[in-house]
Amino acid sequence: MTSSPDQPTTSPTGGAPVQPPMPRPPAPQPVYLPQPPRDRSFRRGFGLGAGAGLGAGGVLLVLGVVGSLITALIYGAVLASAAGSSGPRVSGLRTVWGSETAPPAQTVLAIPIEGAIQADGGDGFALTASTYGYEIARTLDGLSADDAAGVVLLMNTPGGTINGSRAIADAVERYQGRTGKKVVAYVQGMSASGGMYAMAGADRIIADHGSLVGSIGVIFGPFVRYKDVVGTSGSFIESGVSTTGGITQEYLTQGKGKDFGNPFRDMTAQERKVMTDGMANEYQAFVDWVAKHRNIPARTIVDDLGAYIYDPKTAIAKKLIDAQLGPDEAFRDTVQLMGLDAATARIAKRAGASPLEQLLGASSRIYGYQDTAPAGMKASSIICTGAPQPLVWHGPVAAFCG
C-alpha cells in the first residue's frame, strides 16, 4: 500500500500516525552588490609626487655637493693665482729630496735661481728660463722663522742684471738676520757673475761635479761702430748700412754726449772715462761683497781671481765655494748644517698651479720666474735689445735671446 506524501503514515506499532518531516528551507546565499570602481588617482598622484620630490631632492643634493667642490676649487685657484702673481706660496710645496711628510720645522725651502737673472717683468721677455730678482727678494722677505728650517738656493745661472742679482744678495742677508736661519747655495751647472753675486752671502756654498763658478766682473756692450759710412739702404722690414771702413763692435769690461753709443761715430775719451768709472764703482761693490762674505782679500779677487770662471776644485782652493758634492750628499750636508735629522727632514720647492687650477683661472707662473716663451715669440729682454747696460753676465747671450 502506498501513501500519498500529503497523508500521514501509520506507525508500524499501530499507534498514532507519524507526520513526514518538513523540508528545510535553502540556506540564504550571500548577496554581492556591485562596488563602484575605486578612485586610485590620489594614491597614484601621491606616489608620483613623492618620487619626484625625492628625485629632485637627490639632484639638488648632488648639485649642492658639486657646487661646494667647485667653489672650493675656485677659491683655491684664486689663492693660487694670487700667490703666483703677488707673493710666495709657501704652503704649496713639492718635495725635491727627503721625507714627504716632514713638517715645516723639518723642511728646508729650495729657491731655484735659474737662467738669466732679471729684476722683474718690466725687464722684458726672454726665450729661455729667467729669474726675477725682485720677486725672489720679496719671497725671502715674506718668510718667517716658522715657515721653514732654512733656505737652499739652487743655482744654475750665467748671471744677469746688476739690480736683479744684488736684490737677491741683499734679501739673503736680511733673511739670515731676521730669522736666524741658515742659507746654503748649491750650484747645479753654473753660477757665474750675477749668480756669484747673489749667492756669495750664503752660509755654505756647494757645487755639483762639473759645475763652473766665478766670473766676478761687469761687462757693458756691444757698442757698434760703422766706419766711413757711404750710404744706408734697406726696407721697412730690414735696414742696411754701407761702409768703406767696415763695422766693429766693442765691449767695455769696466758720455757726456746725448747720443752716447751712436754707431756712426767713435766714443770720445771722456765718454769712455765716465762709463768706465761707473763700471769701476759697480765692480768695486761686487768685489767688496764677495770679499766680505767669502773672506777673500779684495786685492786677491782683483789681481788673482779676476773675471775667470773656475771648476769646483779650483774654486775651493780660491775660497769661492766650500765643497764639491753630488745632489744626495749635498742635500744631506744642507739639512745637517741646519741641525735637522736627514732621516726625517726634506727639501721642497714651491709648486705651480695644477692643470685644474689653471683651468679655473690660476696663473701657471710661479712667483719669481718667467713663464715659458710662446712659440714664435721674439725676445724683448733688456739683456737682448735696446741700449746696452752694465751686466754681471758670463758668456754669449744667444741661447737666452735667440
pLDDT tens for each residue of 11-33: 555 555 556 666 666 666 655 55
pTM of the model: 0.74
Q: Grid coordinates representing 77? A: 685657484
pLDDT tens for each residue of 148-201: 999 999 999 999 999 999 999 999 999 999 999 999 999 999 999 999 999 999
Convert 224-241 to b/e letters by CB count within 10 Å (16 or more is b).
ebbeeeeeeeeeeeeeee
Q: Clarify whether residues 343 and 393 are in a common domain.
A: yes
Query: Distance between CA atoms of 137 and 129, rounded to whole angstroms?
Result: 18
pLDDT averaged over every residue in the chain: 82
According to DSSP, residue 121 is labeled: G
Please check the confidence at residue 235 and state whether its pLDDT lies above 70: no
Q: Clarify whether residues 196 and 312 are in a common domain.
A: yes
Query: Distance between CA atoms of 188 and 331, rounded to whole angstroms?
Result: 12
Strand duo 93-98 + 346-350: pairing: antiparallel
Strand partners, 347: 97, 108
Q: Go through the chain and tell me how many residues it has.
A: 402
Q: Clarify whether residues 98 and 198 are in a common domain.
A: yes
**Would you state the pLDDT for residue 79?**
46
The verdict on residue 59 lying in a domain is no
Domain that holds residue 117: 90-215+308-351+372-401
Contact residues for 246 (Cβ-Cβ < 8 A; gap 6+): 227
Q: Domain boundary at 296, 318, 339, which?
A: 296
The verdict on residue 68 lying in a domain is no
Q: Report angle CA 110, 333, 331 to the nearest 5 degrees.
A: 35
Q: Clarify whether residues 233 and 102 are in a common domain.
A: no
Q: Clarify whether residues 255 and 170 are in a common domain.
A: no
361-380: average pLDDT: 81
The verdict on residue 165 lying in a domain is yes
**What does R_g of the chain's alpha carbons equal in angstroms?**
45
The domain total for the chain is: 2
Residue with the larger pLDDT of the pair 127 and 25: 127
**Secondary structure (DSSP) of 80-130:** HHHHHHHS--TTSEEEEEE-TT--GGGEEEEEEEESEEESSGGG---SS-E
Q: Clarify whether residues 207 and 317 are in a common domain.
A: yes
Q: Clarify whether residues 269 and 328 are in a common domain.
A: no
Q: Clarify whether residues 187 and 205 are in a common domain.
A: yes
pLDDT tens for each residue of 208-220: 999 999 999 998 8
- Picking from 192, 166, 176, 115, the residue whose alpha carbon sits closest to that of residue 141 is 176
Strand partners, 219: 391
Convert 262-277 to b/e letters by CB count within 10 Å (16 or more is b).
ebeeebeeeebeebee
Of the ranges 9-13, 220-224, 257-261, which is most confident? 220-224
**Would you state the pLDDT for residue 228?**
82
- CATH number, domain containing residue 172: 3.90.226.10
The verdict on residue 288 lying in a domain is yes
Please check the confidence at residue 111 and state whether its pLDDT lies above 80: yes
The verdict on residue 254 lying in a domain is yes
According to DSSP, residue 132 is labeled: E
**Would you state the pLDDT for residue 175?**
98
The verdict on residue 356 lying in a domain is no
Q: Clarify whether residues 337 and 190 are in a common domain.
A: yes
The verdict on residue 377 lying in a domain is yes
Q: Clarify whether residues 228 and 156 are in a common domain.
A: no
Q: Domain boundary at 261, 296, 331, which?
A: 296
- Give backbone dihedrals phi and psi of 303, rounded to 5 degrees, phi first: -90, -30
Residue with the larger pLDDT of the pair 39 and 361: 361
The verdict on residue 256 lying in a domain is yes
Q: Clarify whether residues 380 and 260 are in a common domain.
A: no
- Mean pLDDT is lowest, of 102-116, 282-296, 371-385, for 371-385
Q: Clarify whether residues 210 and 238 are in a common domain.
A: no
